[in-house]
Chains A and B, each alone.
Chain A
Amino acid sequence: MKRRTFVKSGAAGALVGLAGCTGGGTGGQGTTANGGTTTGDATTTAETETAAAKTTRENLSGTLTVATYSSFVDAPSSSPGKWLKQTFEKRHPDVTVKFRTPENELNYYIQRAAQGVDLDADLYVGVNPDHLIRIDEKLGGKKLFEPTAQSLSNYGHVKDSLKFDPKHRAVPYDTGYISLVYNENQIKQAPTTFADLLKDRYQGKLIVQNAKTAVTGRAFLLWTVHTVGEDRYLDWWRKLANNGAKIMGSWDDAYTAYENGEAPMVVSYSTDQVYANRYNKDMSKHQVGFLNDQGYANPEGMAKFAGTDQSALAEAFMDFMLEKEAQKQIAQRNVQFPATDWAPLGEEFKKYAKEPPNPVTFTYDQLKGNVDDWVDSWAREIASK
Chain B
Amino acid sequence: MSDRREDATENPESGSAPGAPASDGAPGTREREPVARARAGDWLERRALTVLGVVTAAVLLVVFYYPVLTVFADAVRVGGRFTTEVVAEVLTDPFYFGVLAPLLSGDFAELGDVAADTPLGLFGFTAFQALLSTVASVALGVPGAYVLSRYEFPGRRTIRSLTIVPFVLPSIMVAIGFYAFFGANGPVNDLLAALGFGRANLLLTLEAIIVAHAFYNAPLVARVTTAAWESVDARMVETARSLGANPRRAFRNVLAPQLLPAILTGALLTFVFTFMSFPIVLALGGFELATVEVWVYSLVQDLDYAEAATLAAFETVLSLVLTYAYLRYEARQAGGARAANPPARKRLVPDDWTPGAALERAGVLAYAVVVAVVFVGPLASMVVESLTGPQGFTLQYYRFLVERQVEGASFQTKPGVAVRNSLLFGVATLVVALPMGVTVAVLTTRGGRGRKLADTAAMAPLAVSGVVVGLGMLRGLVFGVELWGTRVQVSGPVAIVAAHAVAAYPFVVRNVAPLLAGVDRSMVESARALGATRARALLDVELPLVASGVAAGAAFAFAISVGEFDSTVILATGSSSYTMPVAVERYIGSQTLGPATAMGTVLLVVTSVAFVAVDRLGGRWET
Contacts and interface: CB of A to CB of B under 8 A. Distances in A.
B180 A247 contact: no
Interface in B194-251: 201, 203-204
Contact of B586 (A70, A98, A253, A385): A70
Nearest to A181: B591
Given A103-B573, A276-B591, A382 B413 contact: no
Contact of B297 (A103, A213, A257): A213
A279 B596 CA distance: 15
27 contacts: A73-B411, A74-B412, A75-B589, A76-B587, A76-B588, A76-B595, A77-B590, A82-B412, A111-B474, A117-B487, A134-B302, A212-B302, A213-B294, A213-B298, A247-B286, A247-B287, A247-B288, A252-B588, A257-B179, A259-B593, A260-B186, A275-B590, A281-B591, A380-B95, A383-B288, A385-B118, A385-B124
B474 to A, nearest CB: 7
Contacts of B282: 210, 213, 248-250, 253
B379 to A, nearest CB: 16
Contact of A383 (B124, B287, B409): B287
Contact of B294 (A100, A111, A249, A384): A249
B591 A275 contact: yes
Interface of B: 95, 98, 117-122, 124-125, 172, 175-176, 179-180, 183-186, 201, 203-204, 281-283, 286-288, 290, 294-295, 297-298, 301-303, 389-391, 400, 404, 409, 411-413, 474-475, 479-480, 487, 569-570, 573-574, 586-596
A101 B172 CA distance: 20
B591 A111 contact: no
A77 B586 CA distance: 11
A208 to B, nearest CB: 9
Contacts of B294: 213, 249
A102 B595 CA distance: 21
Contacts of B596: 76
Given A117-B487, A281-B390, A112 B479 contact: yes
B582 to A, nearest CB: 9
Contact of A101 (B125, B295, B303, B411): B411
B574 A383 contact: no
A359 to B, nearest CB: 20
A252 to B, nearest CB: 5
B95 A384 contact: yes
Contacts of B389: 279-280
B475 A256 contact: no
A364 B301 CA distance: 19
Contacts of A255: 591
Contacts of A138: 303
B411 A99 contact: yes
A115 to B, nearest CB: 5
Contacts of A100: 573-574
B229 to A, nearest CB: 38
A257 B205 CA distance: 13
Nearest to A135: B303
A252 B586 CA distance: 11
A385 B120 contact: yes
A174 interface: no
B591 A279 contact: yes
A323 interface: no
Contacts of B413: 74
Given A74-B586, A261-B184, A383-B288, A111 B592 contact: no
A276 B591 CA distance: 7
B570 A246 contact: no
A146 interface: no
A247 B298 CA distance: 15
A110 B475 CA distance: 12
A260 B189 CA distance: 12
Given A81-B411, A117-B479, A385 B287 contact: no
Closest 5 CB pairs of A and B: A249-B282, A247-B287, A275-B591, A212-B298, A76-B589
Contacts of A385: 98, 118-122, 124-125, 288
Contact of A76 (B184, B288, B573, B592): B592
A104 B573 CA distance: 10
Given A253-B175, A256-B176, 5 more contacts: A71-B589, A77-B592, A104-B570, A212-B298, A212-B302
A256 B479 contact: no
Contacts of A210: 282, 287, 298
A379 interface: yes
A137 to B, nearest CB: 9
Contacts of B573: 100, 102-103, 108
A335 B592 CA distance: 14
Contact of B411 (A98, A134, A279): A98
Interface string A66-89: 000011011111000110010000
Interface in A174-215: 204, 210, 212-213
Contacts of B185: 260-261
Contact of A253 (B125, B283, B570): B283
A134 B300 CA distance: 12
Given A262-B184, A382-B287, A384-B117, A102 B574 contact: yes
B118 A260 contact: no
- B183, B411, B480: residue with the most chain A Cβ atoms closer than 10 Å: B411
Contacts of A122: none
- A138, A256, A380: residue with the most chain B Cβ atoms closer than 10 Å: A256
A327 to B, nearest CB: 19
A204 B281 CA distance: 19
B126 to A, nearest CB: 9
Contact of B184 (A73, A77, A260, A281): A260
A279 B390 contact: yes
A250 B409 CA distance: 28
B483 to A, nearest CB: 14
Contacts of B390: 279-282
A384 B409 CA distance: 46
B179 A262 contact: yes
A337 B286 CA distance: 31
A64 B290 CA distance: 41
A107 interface: yes
Given A257-B204, A383-B288, A272 B589 contact: no
Contacts of B98: 385
A110 B175 contact: no
Contacts of B592: 76-77, 275, 279
Contacts of B480: 117
Nearest to A281: B390
B204 A262 contact: yes
A322 to B, nearest CB: 22
A304 B124 CA distance: 46
B578 to A, nearest CB: 10
A213 B301 contact: yes
A365 interface: no
Given A260-B185, A385-B121, A280 B287 contact: no
A256 B591 CA distance: 8
Given A257-B179, A260-B179, A383-B288, A280 B391 contact: yes
Nearest to B117: A384
Interface string A242-276: 00001111101101110111100000000010011
Interface in A134-148: 134, 138
Contacts of B286: 246-248
A241 interface: yes
A259 B185 CA distance: 10
A376 to B, nearest CB: 9
Nearest to B480: A117
B133 to A, nearest CB: 16
A82 B409 contact: yes
Nearest to B189: A261
A103 B569 contact: yes
